[in-house]
Amino acid sequence: MKIGISTASFFPREECENAIEKIKELGADCAEVFLGTFYEYRPEFAKAHAERFGGIEISAVHVLSNNFEPQLFASSRRVRGDGFYWLDQVMRSAQLLGAKKYTFHGYISHFAGKNIDEAAGYLRGVCEFCARYGVDVCLENVSWCAYCRPGLFRAFKERCPQLAAALDLKQARRSGYPLNMYIEDMRGAISHVHLSDVDGKGRMCLPGRGIYDFEEIFRRLKGSGFDGPAVIEVYGGDYGDYSELKASVEYLKEIDYKLK
């Protein structure tokens, strides 16, 4: 695996372009770039900070999903058009950053009002659009979005063969379903992983600071066919200073090395 960090782990401590500099210093193999604002979606942002984003593999781009992703599933052509305008901006930025994956939430589950066939039709359109830029769509398990429970990824994949998967440990926990059910549902299609831990009081923390058995998790991931980028995605209030992030990267690398 390649052990990395998402720029989301620095929010709101650092702006995205500054977070990349920190990730390089912390010894990560790769980085996920979380573009959190319409300003950051524009390719001009990636161009303006090209030098900062260089020197490390950008494993994926991610966006603030409720900004435009739900609109990509709207029945109104005009509403979808707005969504695809911003998707085009993000894909152009992904190309400039060298990212080949797009971590995707999709629609918000409780107001979707769509059956699986209808939703998959819109999802195919998103995958085909992103493929023009050389980017794979990785549908992430998110407790309040399209992939909110095990079984849904397999149903989408049957209707949208080009779809890849992004596994998020904290979202699996929040959904109330066992992590292993998600790993099995995504078997053979996991392309990106978000790593976090949880302490004895149920609070999110850095991998290695909580109760998760990452050796077992990595073993199961490898057994499912995954050997790609696994990035730490926590939030700025989930740890102390940046040395703790560095220690977490080293902890995960040691486990990965042990299982080779």
Residue with tokens 């409720």: 66
Cα–Cα distance for residue pair 5/248, rounded to 1 Å: 10
Output the CA torsion 227→16→153→147 (10° steps): 150
Q: What pLDDT is stored for residue 112 in this prediction?
A: 47
Cα–Cα distance for residue pair 16/153, rounded to 1 Å: 30
User: Could you tell me where the DSSP H helices lie in 98-231?
Assistant: 116-131, 152-159, 169-175, 179-185, 214-223
The pTM of the full predicted model, rounded to 2 decimals, is 0.96
Please check the confidence at residue 234 and state whether its pLDDT lies above 70: yes
Name beta bridge partners: 198. Answer: 204
Cα–Cα distance for residue pair 223/243, rounded to 1 Å: 31
pLDDT tens, residue by residue, 178-217: 999 999 999 999 999 999 999 999 999 999 999 999 999 9
pLDDT tens, residue by residue, 85-109: 999 999 999 999 999 999 999 998 8
pLDDT tens, residue by residue, 136-172: 999 999 999 999 999 999 999 999 999 999 999 999 9
* CB-CB contact of 171 with 141 (8 Å): yes
Residue with tokens 């992904």: 94
3-state secondary structure of 75: coil
Task: State which residues form the domain around 197.
Answer: 2-258
Give the CATH number for residue 156. Answer: 3.20.20.150
Q: Which of 190, 231, 252, 250 is nearest to 6 (CA)?
A: 231
Cα–Cα distance for residue pair 57/172, rounded to 1 Å: 26
Looking at the 3D structure of the chain, how many domains does it have?
Answer: 1
